[in-house]
Amino acid sequence: MNSVSPLLWWRLELPITDELEESLLWKLTDLGLYRVALQHLPERPAERTLLAWLPSSEWSDSDREQLVVSLRPLAETFGLTLASPIWCQVADEDWSLSWKKHWQPDPVGQHLLILPAWLDVPQEHSDRLVLRIDPGSAFGTGSHPTTRLCLEALERHPPQGLMVADLGCGSGVLGLAAIGLGARQVVAADTDSLAVSASRENAALNGLNSEHLRVALGSVDVLESLLQGEVADLLLCNILAPVIEALAPSFDRLLSFKGRALLSGLLVDQAPRLTAVLEALGWRVSHLTAQGRWGLLDVCRS
């Protein structure tokens, strides 16, 4: 009688700082590793652990070592040193259930709640605006400081009745928040097809359709097309500073003359250069908001 060996997994546990979250998730996804999670307590968002599950039959000791080596340059980009990984072998683990248990309801600002799709709304947060997200896409769950900065900025000045454009939408969480806070409609674009799928799926989780949130694959040209001859009242752009700088000359094609932009994804020390670029293009930075090393520029016409 033949016996079948139980499936074994390597679970990687890697303490990380918030600077590394997005780049590490992107790198793992780029390598085809989709069984990932971020473990953190809402009251201590800066203390987090990246977890990943790898089939042990496919990942030898040398393969796992090379994986860690490939992640180190991402930390060096920020002048950081990647923490020492912890590898645990787990027998016959249902990784999907194990993955889910690491996600918790995450209150943001005064009135928002990011909720993993399979969880019920906790009684203590029943008065918050719920944004249901499937974190499995790894395209932004609201935990990163730049996303939180955008969400809090939307909350401070709700886009009631506005047309909103989201350039580089990721999981779609900013668009969902904008609609929940009264936006007339959101059009969104991303250059990653998986992000587009994630945005559509998360919109459906929140009972929204294309009349509320229209999303397509592409960048400024596609976003302009989605606007169908209109211009946006508010532009959301949570991407890296060099990309914002490259796209900035096209912002006037997307925004009304009285329009406003929330630009995040940048480090605070990148703000002066980006401010100078924007001012040369006729924009005025009305406010810089910071959370740790990350910043958000609130921009309007001069």
CATH code of 185's domain:
3.40.50.150
pLDDT at residue number 31: 79
CB-based contact 202:255 (threshold 8 Å): no
Same domain, 50 and 132: no
- Please give the pLDDT value at position 137: 56
Q: What is the pLDDT of residue 38?
A: 79
Residue 222 domain boundaries: 106-301
Of 211, 210, 241, 237, the residue nearest 298 (C-alpha) = 237
Domain C-terminal end among 80, 100, 120 = 100
Residues 284 and 154 in one domain: yes
Give the C-alpha separation, 136 to 134, whole Å: 5
Whether 115 and 253 map to the same domain: the answer is yes
Task: Kindly state the tokens that stand for 16.
Answer: 């990380």
Q: Establish if 1 belongs to a structural domain.
A: no
pLDDT at 229: 94
Q: What is the pLDDT of residue 2?
A: 46
State how many domains the chain has. Answer: 2
91: domain CATH number? 3.30.70.120
Q: In DSSP terms, which residues pair with 217 in a beta bridge? A: 190
State whether 173 and 257 are in the same domain: yes
Per-residue model confidence as pLDDT tens for the chain (302 residues): 444 455 788 889 999 987 788 788 888 877 778 778 777 766 666 678 888 888 888 888 988 998 999 999 999 988 899 999 999 988 766 666 666 777 788 899 999 999 999 999 999 999 999 999 987 654 566 777 888 999 999 999 999 999 999 999 988 999 999 999 999 999 999 998 888 998 999 999 999 998 999 999 999 999 999 999 999 999 999 998 999 999 999 999 999 999 999 999 888 999 999 999 999 999 999 999 998 788 999 999 87
pTM of the model: 0.78
Closest CA to 36 of 122, 124, 161, 143: 143
Among 138, 141, 137, 115, smallest CA distance to 126 is for 115
Please choose, from the candidates 278, 275, 279, the residue with its C-alpha nearest in 3D space to the C-alpha of residue 295.
Answer: 275
pLDDT in tens, 230-241: 999 999 999 989
Domain boundary among 65, 100, 135: 100
Burial status of residue 140 (CB atoms within 10 A of its CB: 0-12, 13-18, 19 or more): buried
**Residue 100 and residue 292: Cα distance in Å, rounded?**
28
Tokens 């968002």 found at: 45
Domain shared by 139 and 171, yes or no:
yes
Task: Flag whether 2 is in a domain.
Answer: no
Q: Are residues 240 and 272 in the same domain?
A: yes
Residues 224 and 89 occupy one common structural domain: no
The neighbour count for residue 101, using CB atoms within 10 Å, is 9
Domain-terminating residue out of 48, 72, 100:
100
Characterise 156 by phi-psi region: left (phi > 0), alpha (psi -120 to 50), beta (else). alpha
